[in-house]
Amino acid sequence: MTSDLKSDARSLGEFIDSAPSPYHAVEAAVRMLTEAGFSQLGEAETWSGGGKRYVVRGGSLVAWSEQPGCSAERGFRVVGAHTDSPNLRIKPRPDTGRAGYKQLGVEIYGGVLLNSWLDRDLGLSGRVQLRNGSAPGGLEERLFCIGRPILRVPQLAIHLHRDINEKGLKLNPQRHMAPIWGLADGSEKGFTDWLGSELGVPARDIASWDAMCHDTMPCALSGVDEEFLSAPRLDNLCSSYTGLRALIDGPSDSSEQQFTPVVCLFDHEEVGSSSRGGAGGPILRDVLERIVLLRGGSREDYHRAITASLCASADMAHATHPNYVEKHEPDHILKMNAGPVIKINTNLRYASESETEALFQLACEAAGVPFQKWVNRTDLACGSTIGPITAANLGMKVVDVGCAQLAMHSVREFCGSQDPGYMIQALRAFFA
């Protein structure tokens, strides 16, 4: 492995460690963009000028780079990814418990591998809405991250579940996933009081929250030769980071490029994308149309620009699991550290078409990086991505791509440590 590829993997790990929630992922993205000379546009503002800009909508972000003088109908090259990952989220009335323990009620967000959250040291992160009469609307939003181990979902001892290895572990999300966070001491102090003390505000000022559990163990290179990156939330912060790096590391003068490069980090992909910041919502369409208007273009020019555009839906791919090879298409083995994966599904669970498949293949070849092609076993159901949603929502050509990984949707995932660097190079060529 080259030192540059190892450096890319370490930098990705640092990004993931700083982003335990979608809101922190956007905050980390904003830091990267600001350091690279990008500036924010408010959605309620009148937009003017070009340059390096970004827009934030909750846990979603759109960033682009465009110099003045572009033709109104100039096409876009979009990298779409998502900031959310499956996890356990705190209910509005969280205080619960039995048998002398203080516990928190949680709701399952997305397709969680529940067993992977057992016996883990968990922290809490997210955002709160604080009552503040001097703030617009009377509310102030604040992010928070408690990175120390405060929660745990302990597994039942084998002595009380002796047939678990023969019959398997069956978890009920309501009964078995409430984390322990203390011993009941008879006091009335609950979650809201504790969160207020962590934030340094009176509990009565907390109106609501989006709070979620996360694994407190930091990312690490692993394997005998550091061939792997072990990390939470690779799906899909790996794609978010590589897309941002490709945008930031691209030509400083976008007039050198044929297309305007755009990165869109959606929220809520893991629960269907039907939100104002999801791929099923209008955020990307809104921003692209306003960019065309900034060029002096019309609605007609917007439609021409969309026709000339291409989106790479960047999400993770299933590496072939050595212990479950029968779950994979035998003639499409996916390997780690073998380059970006082009994902194909005849039933359009992925949006790749022969043309878009070939265009991304050409980008990999131009970047000098290896690539792979993947299809699902014909007798197994296939997952999906923001790709088909984006294609249907905008009428834009789309290709689905990603880095190969194992343990997808586990609290702790696993990918090749060379692949993030390969993807950065491929996406940089894709933007060109």
Break the chain into its structural domains and give their ranges. Answer: 3-85+232-431, 87-215
Contact 64, 291 (CB under 8 A): yes
pLDDT digit string (tens) for 332-352?
Answer: 999 999 999 999 999 999 999
Token pair 């897309």 in the structure block, residue: 243
pLDDT digit string (tens) for 107-140?
Answer: 999 999 999 999 999 999 999 999 987 888 899 9
- What is the spatial order of strands in the sheet that 76-82 belongs to? 39-40, 51-57, 60-66, 260-266, 76-82, 310-314, 397-402, 341-343, 372-374
CA distance 261 to 71: 14
Please tell me the number of Cα atoms within 13 Å of 40 on its side-chain side. 14
Domains 3-85+232-431 and 87-215 share a fold: no
The pair of structure tokens assigned to 191 is 């979650």
From first to last of the 432 residues of the chain, give the pLDDT tens digit: 455 888 999 999 999 999 999 999 999 999 999 999 999 999 999 998 779 999 999 999 999 999 888 999 999 999 999 999 999 999 999 999 999 999 999 999 999 999 999 999 999 999 999 998 788 889 999 999 999 999 999 999 999 999 999 999 999 999 999 999 999 987 778 999 999 999 999 999 999 999 999 999 999 999 999 999 999 999 999 999 999 999 999 875 555 678 999 999 999 999 999 999 999 999 999 999 999 999 999 999 999 999 999 999 999 999 999 999 999 999 999 999 999 999 999 999 999 999 999 999 999 999 999 999 999 999 998 899 999 999 999 999 999 999 999 999 999 999 999 999 999 999 999 999
Contact 270, 279 (CB under 8 A): no
Q: What are phi and psi of 225, to 5 degrees?
A: -120, 25
Contact 21, 127 (CB under 8 A): yes
Please give the class, per CATH, of domain 87-215: mainly beta
CATH topology of domain 3-85+232-431: Aminopeptidase (3.40.630)
Calculate the dihedral angle through the C-alpha atoms of 80, 83, 89, 92, rounding to the nearest 10 degrees.
-80
CA distance 356 to 353: 5
